[in-house]
Structure 1
Amino acid sequence: MPRLNLQFLRSAAPIILGAGLFALGLYALYHLLKPVNPADVAAQIRATPMGALAAALGATAIGYVALIFYDWFGLRFIGKTLDRGIVALGGFLGYAFGNTIGVSVISGGAVRYRIYSAVGLNVFEVAAVSGYIAAALGTGLTLVGISALAVHPGAVGAWLPYAPSTIQIVAAGITAVSVALIAWMSVSQRSLSIRGHELHLPPPADLAGQLVVTLIDIAAASFALWVLLPAGKPDYATFVAVYAAATMIGVLSHVPGGIGVFETVVIGTLPASVPVGDAAAALLLFRLVYYLVPFALAFLLVALNEIRLASGFGSRLLARAPALQPAFATLHGFSPGLVATVAFGFGAWLLLITMLPSMRAEAMAEGDLVGVLLLEGGTLASAIAGVALIIVSHGLARRVSSAWWFAIGALLAGAVASLLNDFGFENAAFLMAGALLLLPFRKAFDRPGRLTAGVFDARWFATVIGVGVAAAAFFFFVHKAVPYSNDLWSEFSHDSNTPRALRAGLAATALMFFFGIYLLTRPIRRKPPEEARPEVMSLAAVLCDMSEDPQAWLSQTGDKRFLFSETGHAFIMYAVRGGSWIALGDPVGDRAEFEALVWSFADQAVRSNARPVFYEVSARNLGLWVELGLTLHKVGEEAVVRLPEFSLAGGRFKTMRAAMNKRQRDGYEFTMLTSPHTPELTAELRAISDAWLGGKTGREKGFSVGRFDPDYLALFDISVVRKDGRIVAFANILASKSGAHLAVDLMRYLPEEASGLMEYMFLSLIEHYKAKGALEFSLGTAPLSGLSDRSVARSWNRFGRLIYRHGGAFYNFEGLRTFKQKFQPDWRPRYLALPPNVSPMRVMGDVALLIAGSARGLIGK
């Protein structure tokens, strides 16, 4: 099988597995609930004592407080200390959103990144905290569940083909071995290597504290469900084992919130004395209390923050808590994804309520044609509004302004349809409240664009299919007493609840079907991007002149295109090769406009049926690529010399110091030439460049490096090395606005002068700019260096290391790294950011051809 297909299968496997488990969970749940009357479930919910609801809410509050301590211990584990309010905010929002949306380590991790990065943590530190939380939660749930089975083996005995005594012995053995191993690793502070990954545990005091937090978390969450269960339920200690097992299986399924999977395990393991309908009512209430109530509170918190930003009143209140101001400033960034999730949820809700029997029919007179038409129209409108909200949720996630207006309209239409459908004042009020809650988020949707533009990824489609399957299962559950007949499709009367739901389901399915066909068959627009014009390059040069990144000047090589932000205060430089739009480095200009700019670049690339690629991006803006949903692959390291700390004195540079002194004695002289440069100088430098290229493989390179062009070189200072008055080497220098950050670009020398000449020039440049007070001098990037050499590394890492070690026929990668290491630089990673499921080898092929100019340019003239 081709490598690309294998890679696609690996990336799609979790989605396929999750969808399969979700479908199996719904199938099992449907059979468990087959004898249950939906009206009995609703009656049981209404009959739930207020005391039980209050106890469940109290247990939920205790559980979420305990969950916040996972963040606190995770920060301690990586040696970071943050304000308690920041930790509480990041922890609560991370769990409130992550528990409901699903794949908590990713969705909750994205929330934490926004908040914790605002107070100084980088993306790797936040990832470490998220990984610690995922490991602690998973290990805690597993150990508590297994240890509970050791005490109460009958909790899941009916599901396992073993005797209770066997389950008890095995569970006790696993618990004892696991606890002993964890305790030994914690006390000895030794790490455990599993397939190349090093596992390290916190010290005993922190581990004990984490154990207490885990017990409180599981105890509170399981109690919130247990207290809602009807009479006949198992004792609380036994139920903990049931809850832990069900939660763990739900988490492993990757289904959002474990919906369907969690319920199936709980109902299947409850005693026969618990009525299935009553258990279903308790589980539904638990979902509302433990998942949706915290999610609603978190949503309200973000909505209030949007009101604060609009009114300014809350800013005065936050002035009394300065430590929280940076974190609250980041909440605005949650708005698009959060509103998209809420809109998707409302869409699913509208689809489900269209499956319910209409109550208005009982109040309608026989032959009331107007009433029947309104009832039919209301049901169909509810289904269409629900599908519309699901479709438009993708546009909301991309901050499209028209998507926000469309969502408001769909919610209002759904409210009207609910009134027409069954006098459902509660549903109508619920949808109206949703529309009102979206109003404060207007400023978060500031990007023009079509509602359906952009990439609809596999996870989105899987979620939509899941909603469709759930709606179908709900329909069969609610209308299971009605025998199927073809006449159901054409029956119109005041009591035709099942036909009405069938037609609504058909309308919703048809809308989704035709939308899918539209996505698959819409014409490919390959509008070629506009080539860079002199006036456009001049605008970019103005921003380069104000930038602190010297690499921004590579925009002036003449082989790039430009995408500017709406205000013109930032730009991306890129080129097109094959099916890739390849941006070079980080965006240039106003950092506040980077996020909207990279989204716009990605959208335009996708609309042209191309891959958006960012080549050699630094670690300064990793959050941008995470927000965009791109994956990062290391492509090398940049060698940066810290000038204030650099000195030739001492033993480290003894050999280099001697070589430099020898060059000076041999008559070599270093000089800096400022622009403008004379035609005579340019001609002399061209002769050196031609001689240098004559001894190299391939043609003049471009894109990521400068090229010999008089107009380009006229923009920069040029360093030259002379011998006996004749220039033998030169290099142009890229400089930031302040002159504090510099980088060497084009380097050329006469082939007969190669030995030690570049070393002499670099040392001269370093000493020259150190004397002028500069802070950093970049020696350029060492391609493919610093990649992982472990056997479990990604295929790109393995391939890159192979080229790095044995690619001397094409480029002396390892020799270049060794040469630059002589200057003791800081090695700073550079990355390739590209869409998931896109092979980095394929993209790097486009990059290589772009730099070389052609396939012939890679190997010869």
Structure 2
Amino acid sequence: MNLSDTTQMASAGGGTLARLRAYAPYLLAVLLFGLGTYALYRLLAPVDINAVAAQIRSTPRHLVALALGSTFAGYLCLAAYDWSALSHIGKPLPLPVTISGGFLAYAFGNTIGLTAVSGGAVRWRLYSGLGLDGYDIAAVSTFTAVAFGVAATLVGLGALAVHPMALASVLPFQTSSVRLLAITAILVILGPLVWASVTRRRLKVGRFELQAPSPGLLATQLLISLGDITFSALTLYLLLPAGGPGFLTFVAIFAAATMAGVVSHVPGGVGVFETIVIAALPASVGVDKIAAALLLYRLIYFLVPFALALVLMAAFESWRALGGTTRNSGMSRLFAATEPAFRAIEPTAPILLAIMVFGSGMWMSLSALLPPVSQTTEAAEALFPLAFVEGSTLLTSALGALLIVLSLGLARRSLGAFWLTIGAMLAGAIVALLQRTEMEQAVTLIVAVLILLPFRRAFHRRSVLTHGAMTPGWAALLLAAILSVSFVLFYAHKSIPYAHELWWQFAIDANAPRALRSGLLISLFIGAGSLLFLLRAPRFQPQPPDTGTLEAARRIAMASDQPDAGFALTGDKAIMLSDGGDALVMFGVSGGSWLAYGGPVGEPVGAQEVGFRFVDAARRAGARPVFYEIGPESVPLMLELGMVMHKMGEEAVVDLSRFTLDGAARKKLRAAHARAGRDGLSLEIVSPPHDDGLLSQLRQTSDEWLTAKNAREKGFSVGRFEDEWLNRWPIAVVRQGDRVVAFANLMTTDSRRTCSIDLMRHSDAAPGGTMEFLFTELMLQLKAQGFARFSLGMAPLSGLEPDRSGRLWDRFGNMIYRHGGSFYNFEGLRAFKAKFDPDWLPHYLATPSGLPPLKPLADAAMLISRDRPQR
């Protein structure tokens, strides 16, 4: 069953507007980052970089240790968010799995600021493997987001109510007005929440409807959220110099800056958070000291957990490579207890390692722009030859820019990018060791290499390194990198007037011209690398498959457990094969979309590779990549590809091991089956090739069915009545006496685990209950032949729950499902399939945008109904 009838309702307009709206979040993030960077530059105008470095070096070690302890406590509170959310939805998980999974998700999500890592792929992989469905996972993500937002707002308002002068430099209100507004806002937020919790009512916020937690869980969550905000604020407060506001006053500033950073969608709130903190704190504290504290805070609260999580992942991979044999050690017991969490996050390793490499490249690049900040460095510049100093600085900046560009290749699992990254990092470490002034950089790069090595198996794409389309997210990230380079360059050397001679000035003590040349080299490397990715993305010309491609597709499809993979053999879809020829994507082109039917099919490594190739090729052609009717097994890969899931309905799959006509629950089905037997109906499964006489009878039945339905043959997601197509499959033939009254071609694979139906047609003379008999008798015979599952096909738009998801598309689809009976019997189809007591598996449309998928659906409708010459 496909969605062609439903998709006819989709609108085809607004393509340009839809693209602009899809790119809007990235453009807005770059804009806000640029504005924050500019504001930060203006605020830090009077600050000397050397003073900031000196302040960082003079920070007492016991304060750094306390800040690390506060960070650890804060991340425990963050991990407790998931524990609380799972308790709220009534699906608690083992505490070690919840805490470790939560820590990993927040360690990466806080630093990267990508929901694909923190709220999408990690939680989906972790919780879907432990029995939670998509709505449960969405509920966990929504609960944690709402809990954090409410808590941060309440804490900030509470602090303002006690100390209304906290944001006097930012808010244009009188002290009494600020206190009154804060108290009023607290009551407005807390009152309905407590009322809904006590009465167990649902709280409607806009188009979203939330179920408030029980009073006990609400109190627990408020404590968890209070601990989160308090400990994260305490981490920065410990690092601030004396003379600042009291802690409660500072909490209001911190909460406001945090919420601004979250709303901005800038990764980590970089620039936005710092601007508000510096603007809100009194100038008497010293901007250079505040800047130093903020840099240390970023390092301790964001980068240390990020690095620790990467080290733990690398250690887990090494433990797995050793077979987990040393189970008596404490580390082995830890990994054994938390293994589901690490296994869940393992597939996201390439993107996480890419971010690590990107950060390493940024560090190397920026360090080449800064003047010496220690006496050791200044002494080395005086001792080493001029050519060595100039050359090593330019080499460091070039290697840093190279790592920034290579990070995109790592995100796409390129094996070439992996080994080039290892080489570039080792070269950078050697340069730092030869300089004898950047020992921290050398040690960090060596540790990064040791983190990368255990993940060698994750990088398997052997295609050309530059064969990867530039996504809006990466384009925004690279643009932000260039903005950061410009900021540091001009900030570090703002006191030096520009002159053309600076470019050609070579001297040991001339840091400005060296930084200008390094900045130019960094920008050229990043720009040229980005342009190379844009121009060298793979081209693929969609065309009907030739005989060799069809044979390769047949081999891949028959080796899988997915009968629908056989639709690659219809001949009406282009086929993209993996480099190793062990996986494929079948797709059609319609309107502005490249529509793949189902997810990639084949070996997991090859499926990932060809999935990336398909997305890159579609974007290179200026089209949107879309995956049509994908099952839950393909969702993790879709998230890695940056796709958004739109539920399209549910597939009814019968477990044949428990299918029977016995028992009171099957009384009606048993009676219908017996009545069909009295009517003289019988079913035979005929193996291919089929004789011309049978095909002639089936064609007559098919023509009668098409005439009665006032329909014509369709394509893409279904087969057609063609002799060549039907001769590929067994056919279930229902006869009444000697006359054929119904038939269905059966799609199977070599594993013979699952069977599904493609064409289902009956003649005008078929008695009532014929199709019900076909399904019942067919499942009994398939069970006897050893098949494990039987697919009854899709029930379009069933299972959408807008009250749980809050999504506009779910509301629209659910409305059609309930009120669209005049043009398609959605509820009747689901009720018919429900007679056989199937398991309902969700199916999705995967698109690059979170907007309602009206245009992709319209393109799919045209593709399904497109006429194709008979062969």
TM-score, L = length of structure 1: 0.89
CA gap 1:541/1:806 in 2 versus in 1, 3 angstroms:
same
**Contact 1:95/1:108, CA 8 A, preserved across alignment:** no
CA gap 1:70/1:523 in 2 versus in 1, 3 angstroms:
closer
**Contact 2:554/2:566, CA 8 A, preserved across alignment:** yes
CA gap 1:836/1:388 in 2 versus in 1, 3 angstroms:
farther
1:407 matched to 2:414? The reply is no
Q: Of the candidates 25, 28, 31, which is equivalent to residue 20 of structure 1?
A: 31
CA gap 1:801/1:532 in 2 versus in 1, 3 angstroms:
farther
Aligned position for 1:702: 715
Question: Following TM superposition, by how much is the alpha carbon of 1:401 offset from its aligned partner in structure 2, in angstroms?
Answer: 0.8
Letter in 1 for 2:81: Y
Aligned position for 1:87: 98
Q: Equivalent residues in 2 for 1:251-650 (5 A)?
A: 251-312=262-323, 316=327, 320=333, 322-358=336-372, 371-418=385-432, 423-519=437-533, 525-528=539-542, 531-533=545-547, 537=550, 540-541=553-554, 544-545=557-558, 547-563=560-576, 570-576=583-589, 580-590=593-603, 594-606=607-619, 611-641=624-654, 644=658, 647=661
CA distance in 1, matches of 2:445, 2:678: 85
Fraction of identical pairs, as percent: 44
CA distance in 2, matches of 1:669, 1:365: 93
Q: Please list the CA deviations of residues 675-709 of structure 1 after superposition, one character each: whole Å capped at 9, or x if unmatched.
A: 45333222222233344345555542233223223
Q: Please list the CA deviations of residues 203-241 of structure 1 after superposition, one character each: whole Å capped at 9, or x if unmatched.
A: 111111111112222222211111111110111222121
Q: Please list the CA deviations of residues 510-562 of structure 1 after superposition, one character each: whole Å capped at 9, or x if unmatched.
A: 333334444555598344567152x6555555555555433334344344454
Aligned position for 1:232: 243
1:188 matched to 2:199? The reply is yes
1:682 matched to 2:695? The reply is yes
Q: Please list the CA deviations of residues 648-689 of structure 1 after superposition, one character each: whole Å capped at 9, or x if unmatched.
A: 9879986x8887777665555544444453332222222333
Aligned position for 1:37: 48
1:222 matched to 2:228? The reply is no
CA gap 1:770/1:178 in 2 versus in 1, 3 angstroms:
same
State the Cα RMSD in Å: 3.7
CA distance in 2, matches of 1:51, 1:191: 48
**Contact 1:729/1:749, CA 8 A, preserved across alignment:** yes
SS in 2 for 1:484: coil
Q: Please list the CA deviations of residues 103-126 of structure 1 after superposition, one character each: whole Å capped at 9, or x if unmatched.
A: 458535433333444444444433
Q: Of the candidates 107, 111, 116, which is equivalent to residue 118 of structure 2?
A: 107
Aligned position for 2:5: none
**Contact 1:18/1:253, CA 8 A, preserved across alignment:** yes
How many residues were matched structurally? Answer: 853
Letter in 1 for 2:248: A
Q: Please list the CA deviations of residues 279-327 of structure 1 after superposition, one character each: whole Å capped at 9, or x if unmatched.
A: 1111111111111111111111112223334444666457656443343
CA distance in 2, matches of 1:711, 1:199: 54
Question: Following TM superposition, by how much is the alpha carbon of 1:749 offset from its aligned partner in structure 2, in angstroms?
Answer: 2.8
Question: Following TM superposition, by how much is the alpha carbon of 1:475 offset from its aligned partner in structure 2, in angstroms?
Answer: 2.0
Letter in 2 for 1:531: P
CA distance in 2, matches of 1:470, 1:375: 24
Q: Equivalent residues in 2 for 1:793-808 (5 A)?
A: 794=808, 798=812
Q: Please list the CA deviations of residues 349-378 of structure 1 after superposition, one character each: whole Å capped at 9, or x if unmatched.
A: 122112212589965899x9x933333323
SS in 2 for 1:637: strand
Q: Which runs of 5+ in 1 are unaligned?
A: none
CA gap 1:530/1:429 in 2 versus in 1, 3 angstroms:
farther
Question: Following TM superposition, by how much is the alpha carbon of 1:254 offset from its aligned partner in structure 2, in angstroms?
Answer: 1.3
Letter in 2 for 1:56: A
1:249 matched to 2:263? The reply is no
Q: Of the candidates 138, 148, 170, which is equivalent to residue 127 of structure 1?
A: 138
SS in 2 for 1:232: coil
Letter in 1 for 2:518: A
SS in 2 for 1:481: coil
CA gap 1:536/1:691 in 2 versus in 1, 3 angstroms:
same
CA distance in 1, matches of 2:782, 2:556: 23
Question: Following TM superposition, by how much is the alpha carbon of 1:642 offset from its aligned partner in structure 2, in angstroms?
Answer: 5.7
1:161 matched to 2:172? The reply is yes
Question: Following TM superposition, by how much is the alpha carbon of 1:3 offset from its aligned partner in structure 2, in angstroms?
Answer: 1.5
836-845 or 17-26, larger mean C-alpha shift: 836-845
Letter in 2 for 1:712: W
Aligned position for 2:3: none
SS in 2 for 1:453: coil
101-110 or 222-231, larger mean C-alpha shift: 101-110
Q: Please list the CA deviations of residues 10-65 of structure 1 after superposition, one character each: whole Å capped at 9, or x if unmatched.
A: 33333233222222222222222211121111111111112211211121121112
SS in 2 for 1:836: coil
SS in 2 for 1:153: coil
CA distance in 2, matches of 1:282, 1:298: 23
CA distance in 1, matches of 2:495, 2:35: 23
**Contact 1:525/1:609, CA 8 A, preserved across alignment:** no
Letter in 1 for 2:239: L
CA distance in 1, matches of 2:299, 2:356: 15
**Contact 1:305/1:332, CA 8 A, preserved across alignment:** no
Question: Following TM superposition, by how much is the alpha carbon of 1:485 offset from its aligned partner in structure 2, in angstroms?
Answer: 2.3
SS in 2 for 1:638: strand
Q: Equivalent residues in 2 for 1:197-208 (5 A)?
A: 197-208=208-219
CA distance in 1, matches of 2:115, 2:558: 43
Q: Please list the CA deviations of residues 487-531 of structure 1 after superposition, one character each: whole Å capped at 9, or x if unmatched.
A: 322322222211221122122223333344445555983445671
Q: Please list the CA deviations of residues 377-420 of structure 1 after superposition, one character each: whole Å capped at 9, or x if unmatched.
A: 23322222222111111110111011112222322343455567
Name which structure has the greater RCO, CA cutoff 8 Å, separation 6+: 2
Q: Of the candidates 734, 746, 760, which is equivalent to residue 747 of structure 2?
A: 734
CA gap 1:156/1:688 in 2 versus in 1, 3 angstroms:
same
CA gap 1:398/1:540 in 2 versus in 1, 3 angstroms:
same
CA gap 1:320/1:440 in 2 versus in 1, 3 angstroms:
closer
Q: Which runs of 5+ in 2 are unaligned?
A: 1-11
TM-score, L = length of structure 2: 0.88
258-267 or 749-758, larger mean C-alpha shift: 749-758
Question: Following TM superposition, by how much is the alpha carbon of 1:267 offset from its aligned partner in structure 2, in angstroms?
Answer: 1.6
**Contact 1:698/1:852, CA 8 A, preserved across alignment:** no
Aligned position for 1:71: 82
Question: Following TM superposition, by how much is the alpha carbon of 1:732 offset from its aligned partner in structure 2, in angstroms?
Answer: 2.1
Question: Following TM superposition, by how much is the alpha carbon of 1:276 offset from its aligned partner in structure 2, in angstroms?
Answer: 1.2
Letter in 2 for 1:66: C
Aligned position for 1:746: 759
CA gap 1:111/1:781 in 2 versus in 1, 3 angstroms:
closer
Question: Following TM superposition, by how much is the alpha carbon of 1:800 offset from its aligned partner in structure 2, in angstroms?
Answer: 9.7
Q: Please list the CA deviations of residues 153-209 of structure 1 after superposition, one character each: whole Å capped at 9, or x if unmatched.
A: 111122111111110011011112322221111111110123332111211111111
Question: Following TM superposition, by how much is the alpha carbon of 1:808 offset from its aligned partner in structure 2, in angstroms?
Answer: 7.2
1:831 matched to 2:844? The reply is yes
Question: Following TM superposition, by how much is the alpha carbon of 1:578 offset from its aligned partner in structure 2, in angstroms?
Answer: 6.1
